[in-house]
Amino acid sequence: MPRTLFSADTHFGHRGILSPRMPRPRPFDTIEAHDEALVAAWNKAVRPNDIVWHLGDFAYKCGLDYAAAVQARLHGRIHLIRGNHDHGLGDRLQWAGPVVDVQRVFVRIHPAWTAGVLFRHDAAD
């Protein structure tokens, strides 16, 4: 049975997230090393049939071919809730459903209780 999982702010292809000026600098020398580590961690946690809701900022400041190649390697049926960095590139990738700004997802909290939760992506100020 597929699970429903959530992820956000992967920023595949975004060299700027490696800057030492970032609040939490990442321990990678290149964006390719960063992205390889994220793909490996993703695929360790996500099974091919799982449903994944990506809560925005999937890829940024990289080419469509690069973002699509990374996306193709990720396990799961991935849906995108558009983030502030997804306008343009995120809209041009192939997702498991339409790209949305807000989405209600029904989440099983307890065996006897399912709740509808609204998800959206807001940029940090």
73 vs 81, which has greater pLDDT? 73
Q: What tokens does 71 get?
A: 């996306």
The structural domains of the chain, ordered by start, are 4-120 (3.60.21.10)
Distance of alpha carbon 119 from alpha carbon 104, whole angstroms: 6
Q: Which residues pair with 63 in a beta bridge?
A: none
pLDDT in tens, 55-67: 999 999 999 999 9
pTM for this model (two decimals): 0.84
Residue matched to tokens 């809701």: 53
